[in-house]
Amino acid sequence: MDNILDTAKTWLTDFFDPAIKKEIEHLIANDKEELNDRFYKNMEFGTGGIRGVMGVGTNRINKYTLGKSTQGLSNYLNKVYKGEEIKVVIAFDCRNNSDTLARTVAEVFSANGIKVFLFSELRTTPELSFAVRHLNCHAGIVLTASHNPPEYNGYKVYWTDGGQIVPPQDGEIISEINSLGFEDIKFTPNDSLIEVIDKEVDKAFISQSVAAGNFNAAGKENFKIVFTSLHGTSITAIPEVLKRGGYENVTIIEEQAKPDGNFPTVKSPNPEESEALSMAVKKAEEIGADMVVGTDPDSDRLGIAVRNLDGEMEIVNGNQAMVLMTKFLLEKRKEKGFKGNEFIATTIVSTPMMEAMAKAYGVEFKTSLTGFKWIGKMIKDFPESDFIGGGEESFGYMVGDFVRDKDAVTSTLLACEIASQAKANGSSFYKDLIQCYVDYGFYKEHLVSITKKGISGAEEIKQMLKDFKENPVESVAGSKVKWIEDYNTSTAKNVLTGEEKTIDIPKSNVLIYETEDGTRIAARPSGTEPKVKFYISTNTKLERTEDYKKVAAELDNKVKSILAELNLA
């Protein structure tokens, strides 16, 4: 408590704005609990950079915490690229204060002699990733908190390859940041080094997106799409990409088309949540649309709803969308002829069906920790290999490598191509997915996400994961646990035979149980939110498409029994 108070009092110097000092004085006098939460720790880099609630304090997003991060990054850039003209590009999304925080970040870079390209208005995260290489920049920043609630904002750092920073580089940057005091921040800008950019990058990005996502599918004139940007940035790109891709019959949900950091029409601007797409799904039912697409605020995740076997709109999950997109890309590549260096990728908590499909097509399968930065790193680490596509269960997908992060812009066009072609062939997106289950195995996934806020919440999450590890599960739904994968120790142990393997993936706080029948239970804390997540994957054979409903019900019941066994129901 004394340490927290001492830390808070360091913000009462004349370096900080008067309004900030006044707020801290009020907290010291009247609200110790809130003071503790704001100052008990510093903002930390997670799987997606820095992300947190906006406000005053070391544990909040504000001009000082982002300024300090930018100062540390500036120092690092000036060391690594000493003597070069260093360039960075900055984008921001629709969130409250994103534009002003982006300007602050630009000013700090410029004060350190770094050339800045600053987008004039909000832009998507995939366009920022693209812009890094397009403008030959050393780094990129996007101000965003992805799909988090309105009170959040954040800051993601990209490197020369257009991918997010990864170890050991992120650790070196963090060390640089941690060596600084707030008074070390250079806030006085060199305006001659800040160049505002606009449509020139848009043109190149949209052209590349259409080239990567358009496969000249049949039936576009009869394919009806409902699109919602959920008050986010994708309104700046997706309508134009769909138009250039040949889709004229697109209905935009106007109530959600205007960018707004308060996200007034949804509980959460997260396409993983069915409620977020409810307005679009309702419109699709009204007008008889074939597909709904909705994207999160920075347009790196997409949610899809299509007509199921009963003709009703049903939201497909991230694993399902990923499987069908990858299958489509593999089939297109197969038509051209494989060269033998192709690979697809996903994460350790995503569906194992991706690996089964890679084996069927004879291409390499790579898996990574959660977070798209690891998939981007694969492309950088294996330049001789050809990345076809890949994604993760949390509704992110990347088509090819012209963007090095999950990309809802290109993926939206790809999803429409798949569905339009399927309809023209007398099938559907949903029916094609069921055929994948027949071909590669019927995999069914379920996510349980538990939120625990504040200091006590962080301790609860830590204890939950400790209990999960120290009290190992012996069987799941009647099937014995065979493998325990501990990513903290980089070991996988066969508990039935005693065999041990080394996991060749960076260490992370993830534990996975796999049973004899292939059921997988994974547990991990979120890197960007106060959550602990449990991922469940079950599978069985699907002999015929006609058996889909019956077998799906059996897997649903199995998932329910697993949730009850693990006290997660």
Query: Concatenated DSSP letters for 172-237?
Result: HHHHHHHT--GGG------GGGEEEE-HHHHHHHHHHHHHHH----S-GGG--EEEE-TTSGGGGT
Check residue 1 and give its pLDDT.
Answer: 64
CA–CA dist 403, 260 (Å, integer):
25
Q: Catalytic site residue 74?
A: no
CB 114 within 8 A of CB 141: no
Six-digit token pair at 246?
């040949």
> Looking at the DSSP assignment, which residues form a beta bridge with residue 536?
446, 521
Nearest 5°: the CA angle 476, 395, 235 is 165
Model-level pTM?
A: 0.95
Does residue 165 have a pLDDT over 80?
yes
Task: Give the model's confidence band at 59: pLDDT under 50 very low, under 70 low, under 90 confident, else very high.
Answer: very high
Amino acid 488 reads N
| Torsional class of 190: left (φ above 0), alpha (ψ -120 to 50), beta (otherwise) | beta
Check residue 285 and give its pLDDT.
Answer: 97
CA–CA dist 455, 367 (Å, integer):
33
CA–CA dist 96, 424 (Å, integer):
43
CA–CA dist 79, 167 (Å, integer):
17
CA gyration radius for the chain? 24
Distances (CA, A) of 569 to 95, 503, 562: 34, 31, 9
Catalytic member of 146, 229, 394, 411: 146
Average pLDDT over residues 508-531: 90
Task: Give the model's confidence band at 318: pLDDT under 50 very low, under 70 low, under 90 confident, else very high.
Answer: very high
Return the half-sphere exposure (C-beta side, CA atoms, 13 A cut-off) of residue 497: 8
Check residue 467 and give its pLDDT.
Answer: 87
- The residue to which tokens 């100062």 are assigned: 71
463 vs 448: which has the higher pLDDT:
448
CA–CA dist 75, 73 (Å, integer):
5
CB 240 within 8 A of CB 206: yes
Task: Give the model's confidence band at 526: pLDDT under 50 very low, under 70 low, under 90 confident, else very high.
Answer: confident
Average pLDDT over residues 170-182: 92
Task: Give the model's confidence band at 383: pLDDT under 50 very low, under 70 low, under 90 confident, else very high.
Answer: very high
Average pLDDT, rounded, for the chain: 95
CB 373 within 8 A of CB 47: yes
Distances (CA, A) of 459 to 427, 453, 466: 50, 10, 10
Average pLDDT over residues 224-243: 98
Does residue 223 have a pLDDT over 80?
yes
What backbone phi and psi angles, to 5 degrees, belong to 300? -110, -15
Does residue 198 have a pLDDT over 70?
yes
Name the nearest CA neighbour of 122 among 229, 226, 210. 229
> Looking at the DSSP assignment, which residues form a beta bridge with residue 214?
none
Check residue 498 and give its pLDDT.
Answer: 96
Does residue 47 have a pLDDT over 70?
no
CB 213 within 8 A of CB 413: yes
| Torsional class of 54: left (φ above 0), alpha (ψ -120 to 50), beta (otherwise) | beta
Name the nearest CA neighbour of 231 among 273, 199, 285, 276. 276
Show Cβ contacts of residue 533 under 8 Å, excluding neighbours closer than 6 positions. Answer: 349, 447, 448, 449, 450, 523, 524, 525, 526
Helix 32-39 / helix 18-30 crossing angle, nearest 10 deg: 130
Average pLDDT over residues 522-549: 92
Does residue 511 have a pLDDT over 90?
yes
% of the chain residues with pLDDT over 70: 99
CA–CA dist 117, 131 (Å, integer):
10
CA–CA dist 337, 327 (Å, integer):
15
Check residue 48 and give its pLDDT.
Answer: 62
- How confident is the model over 458-504, as pLDDT tens digits? 888 888 888 888 888 899 999 999 999 999 999 999 999 999 999 99
CB 259 within 8 A of CB 234: no
Distances (CA, A) of 190 to 115, 185, 529: 9, 14, 35
Average pLDDT over residues 187-198: 97
Instruction: Please return the burial class of 550, using the count of CB atoms within 10 Å of its CB with bins 0-12, 13-18 and 19+.
Output: exposed
Check residue 136 and give its pLDDT.
Answer: 98
DSSP 165: P
Average pLDDT over residues 83-92: 97
Return the half-sphere exposure (C-beta side, CA atoms, 13 A cut-off) of residue 501: 11
Check residue 368 and give its pLDDT.
Answer: 96
Six-digit token pair at 53?
């609630």
Six-digit token pair at 175?
């060390």
% of the chain residues with pLDDT over 90: 89
Check residue 46 and give its pLDDT.
Answer: 63
Does residue 277 have a pLDDT over 60?
yes
Average pLDDT over residues 430-435: 98
Average pLDDT over residues 94-113: 98
Does residue 405 have a pLDDT over 80?
yes
